Amino acid sequence: MTDIQQEIKKAVLEGEDAAAFTLCREALKEGIETMTICKAIMSGVQEAGELWKQNVYFMSDMIMSAEAFRRAMEAVETYLSMGETGACRPVGRRVVIGTVAGDMHTLGKLIVKVMLQANRFEVIDLGEDLPCATFIDKVKDLNPDILGIGCYMTTTMLEIKEIIKSLQEGGLRDGVKVMIGGVPTTQGFADEAGADAWGKDALDAVEKAKQLIRSS
């Protein structure tokens, strides 16, 4: 890695969001290829994930690293929208993700989104508090490979069953893999709801997403 790549990686790893943004913009101005910058950004957040596995990083570190990743990618995306071709844009690994109705929690979803992006998935975040119909409409419109559904309360998690049922009724279920996650969910609930996979946490979600893509 070049010095600036190292600096970008370090800024993302250490959760320095402003520095990560500025460094990426500087690197782009210097003519460094977008793909090279993206690799440095992804490398930073991937290392954060490794440190999480080793109990060196905690959720506070992960969330700061995720924010820095988001800001760094924003810098690159802004540049891409100005004309450069999308070297960072993944193909054939589209995930549409959202949180069920009545549920506003965003933290876990943000980390899942970032870790998926860091692993070359295209992630379309629908947001939170989404009615069942939104999930169905977006599956129709965006044709994702994977639909990720999150919930964080035992009362709202029951919505997941409704969404999967509606996918079946709408004839959409066979065309999309469904992965669920969130604090109250379990493998047992995923099975009961008819999901294809359960992500125990963000890193597990990435592994499961890769498996789903391989098996499709």
Partner 1 sequence: MSTGRNQKGAETPEESSRRNTASERPWIPVTAQMPDHVMALAGIPAKTFYWDARTFVDAMAKVTAYYDMDGLMPAADVYNFEIEAMGGKMVYSDNAMPTIDHRVPIIKEPEDLLKLHTPDFYRDGRLSYALDCIKLSAEFGGWQCGIFCAPFSMAAGLRSYPLLIKDMRKRPQFTHDLFNFIIDDVLIPFLRVQKDYCGVSIAVSADAWSAIPNLSVRELREWVEPYNRRLIAKAKKLGVTALCVSGQYVEERPEKFDVGLLHAGFDLQVADQSSTPSISVHMGPWDDFPLECIRAYTEKYREQGIETAVRVGINPKLLRDGPADKIASTVKRVINTFARDHEIGVFLSNVPSDTPPKHVHTAVAAAHTYGRLPIADNLDKVEFKPFKRESFQEWKAKVARDDPGRTKGDPA
Residues facing residue 98 across a β-bridge: 127, 149
In the complex, minimum distance from the CB of residue 153 to partner 1, in angstroms, rounded to a whole number: 6
Listed in sequence order, the residues at least 6 apart from 185 whose beta carbon sits closer than 8 Å to its beta carbon are: 151, 157, 160, 198
131 binds partner 1 (CB under 8 A): no
Which of these ranges, 28-36, 137-145, 166-174, 180-188, lies near partner 1 under the rule CB under 8 A? 180-188
In the complex, minimum distance from the CB of residue 179 to partner 1, in angstroms, rounded to a whole number: 17
Residues facing residue 50 across a β-bridge: none
Interface with partner 1 in residues 185-204 (CB under 8 A): 186, 188-189, 200-201
In the complex, minimum distance from the CB of residue 102 to partner 1, in angstroms, rounded to a whole number: 4
For the record, the structure tokens of 92 come out as 């054939």
Q: Kindly provide the residue ranges of all beta strands, DSSP E only, lying in the chain, ordered along the sequence.
A: 94-100, 122-130, 146-150, 177-181, 197-199
Which of 80/206 has CB closer to partner 1?
A: 206
Decide: 79 and 47 in contact? Cβ < 8 Å.
Answer: no
With CB under 8 A as the rule, give the number of residues binding partner 1.
32
Q: In what order do the strands lie in the sheet with 94-100?
A: 122-130, 94-100, 146-150, 177-181, 197-199
In the complex, minimum distance from the CB of residue 35 to partner 1, in angstroms, rounded to a whole number: 28
In the complex, minimum distance from the CB of residue 60 to partner 1, in angstroms, rounded to a whole number: 5
4 binds partner 1 (CB under 8 A): no
12 binds partner 1 (CB under 8 A): no
3-state secondary structure of 104: coil
At position 201, the amino acid (one-letter code) is D
HSE-CB of 44 using CA atoms within 13 angstroms: 35
Which of these ranges, 77-85, 106-114, 116-124, 131-139, lies near partner 1 under the rule CB under 8 A? 106-114
The contact pattern for partner 1, residues 36-55, with x = CB under 8 A and - = no contact, is -----------------x-x
- 120, containing H or E segment: none
The residues of the shown chain that bind partner 1, judged by CB under 8 A, are: 15, 53, 55, 58-61, 63-64, 67, 101-107, 110, 128-129, 153-158, 184, 186, 188-189, 200-201
